[in-house]
Structure 1
Amino acid sequence: MTETRTSTATVEHAPGRSLGTQGGSSLVTERGRTTIADEVVAKIAGMAAREIDGVHDFGTGTARAFGAIRGALGGEDGVTRGMSVEVGERQAAVDIHLIVEYGVAIPDLAQAVRSHVIRAVERMCGLEVTEVNIAVDDVHLPRQQEQQAPADGEPRVQ
């Protein structure tokens, strides 16, 4: 049996417990061990956080700038941008840098993101999430449409 270890979690699986249970269900049995990489937990946290209304984007200004350059060059804009994860043997901690939509109550949004991320990571990984720290780095303001129809009502371009 091959075991991969690159910043991974090793968790034990107790007989009779399902993998989707909360609070540190185990992934080690008498027949083998399952490890979960930090990147896996970061992707799950990123996808869960994106599902909450009021979240506009993730990452600090620098991370978003690099993401835009990567996207312009044909690279993939990663789902883990703005996510920092520490994974231990039975627990995980997540730090999220996000940009909120203007008008959203930030404390309510942070709590919704926190709860959703905890549920997703615990359900999918079986790890106990000890904390989800959220840093709001920016507010996305609504863009004002400066497109005005020409005075004569004709389209500008044909």
Structure 2
Amino acid sequence: MSTPTPATTPKTTSPSPATSGSALESTQGKTTIADGVVAKIAGLAAREVHGVYGFGSGAARAFGALTERIPGGRSSSTQGVSVEVGERQAAVDLTIVVEYGVGIAELARAIRRNVIGAVEQMTGLDVVEVNVNVVDLHLPSEDDGDDAPAPEPTPARVR
């Protein structure tokens, strides 16, 4: 028996979908995931990281606060999150507000780990980058008082 020479070995010009390495393609069909789905996953995963106070610019946060107060309104889990989704890869951009006292470099690493893990596990997409844009720092004295207890009423003076 002779071994086949390279000239007699069959060659394939492109990988078949079943062997392309993507969990989203098979011989039985193709799965596509909308940008909004990936943005929600990324936003929720980033919110889980301690030290993230909020998302988006000041104007976006103010608009979000108004939306939450309208009956039937709800906060957006994609505020401050933008994504680009391809057939096999995704890139995520986050615009965040950081709690004062938190190390920003370590926070960004933790956000990247959490977002990449969640998006890749839930979607099968390869996350090629997670950009973290810190636009503000939240100081404890800046709380708007919504969570603070109402002040005690001052007793009326008797004359």
TM-score using structure 1 length: 0.76
Task: Tell me, yes or no, if structure 1 residue 76 matches structure 2 residue 43.
Answer: no
Shift of 1:69: 1.7
Counterpart contact for 1:59–1:97, Cα < 8 Å:
yes
RMSD of the TM alignment (CA)? Answer: 2.7
- Maintained 8 Å contact 1:118/1:129: yes
Runs of 4+ in 1 over 3 A off after TM superposition: 12-15, 144-147, 155-158
How many angstroms apart in 1 are the aligned matches of 2:17 and 2:124? 9
Size of the aligned set, in residue pairs, is: 134
Which is higher, the Rg of structure 1 or of structure 2?
2
Identity %: 56
- Name the residue aligned to 1:54: 51
Structure number with greater CO (CA < 8 Å, separation at least 6) is 1
* Ranges in structure 1 where 5+ consecutive residues have no aligned partner: 1-11, 18-23
2:30 and 2:123 mapped to 1: Cα distance? 13
Question: Residue type of the partner of 1:118?
Answer: I
| Map of 1:123 onto structure 2 | 121
Unpaired runs of 5+ in structure 2?
A: 1-15
Structure 2 residue corresponding to 1:66, chosen from 56, 63, 71: 63
Q: TM-score, normalised by structure 2?
A: 0.75
Distance change >3 Å, CA 143–CA 29, structure 1 → 2: same
